[in-house]
Amino acid sequence: MNATEGLDGVAGRRWKRRWAALLAFCALLLTAPLHAAEAIAWDALSAAEQQTLAAHANEWEQLDPQTQERLRKGAQRWLALTPEQRVNAAERFAAWRDLSEERRAEIRRRFEAFRDLPPEQQRRLRGAFERFRHLPPERREELLRRFEAMSPEEKRAFMTALQATEQADRARRWWQSLPPAERQAMQHMFAQFTQAERQALRQRMQALSPPDREALRRKLLTMSVQERRDFLAQPPQ
């Protein structure tokens, strides 16, 4: 089944007229920032990409390189979807098209804010969204109603509590994954820390990537009590 036939099977002929807008919406979902994009010749596109982007064929050479790259990535994402995923994408686009301009602008602002977050925080938010997406519909509706009814301060407090809960869940899973001997060694090490040293260690760990946190944990276990104290007394590099 080629790209045009797939589009017909997913949303019918009416979607052909809105294909360009659908691709723009798919491009909006791309989270990877683009850097110094170069112009893409129409002939450089694959046959499937050309079929998918047929609505832009006449204007392709006039588009700026960044728009070309985004549209191409949107086409590639569409072509990689299964028929069921294409149906879901078409439904999401229909919902997007029905939003007011103010609501779309708000979503775009939130999307830009998401792109500015550190990769680790983006990963956590994607995980939270996936868990939300798999809740029963009635539960999702209930949570959305409760969240929309909150004041801005309550929403900030809710998100802070949610993040703390997720961090605690990850820490518990990580702790349980350690062999008993390592857990015992960690407990012994933590018992020797002062409150200030625990705080200093927590701040260092939060600033590191998961692999670097694991490397630091193993390094601390090889140190003496005094070496750990001297290390934590130094400012982070």
pTM above 0.75, yes or no: no
- pLDDT for 148 equals 77
The sign of the torsion formed by the CA atoms of 28, 30, 32, 34 equals negative
Q: Is 90 exposed, middle or buried (0-12, 13-18, 19+ CB in 10 A)?
A: middle
Domain segments of the chain as ranges: 3-116, 118-175, 178-237
* Residue 173 confidence (pLDDT) above 70: yes
Phi, psi of 95 (to 5 degrees): -65, -40
When mean pLDDT is compared across 76-80, 120-124, 202-206, the lowest value belongs to 120-124
- pLDDT for 185 equals 87
Kindly report, residue by residue over 26-55, the tens digit of the pLDDT: 444 443 444 456 889 999 999 999 998 988
What's the mean pLDDT in 100-108? Answer: 82
Cα R_g (the chain), whole angstroms: 24
Under 8 Å between Cβ of 81 and 89 = yes
Residue 21 CB: number of other CB atoms within 10 A?
14
Under 8 Å between Cβ of 27 and 72 = no
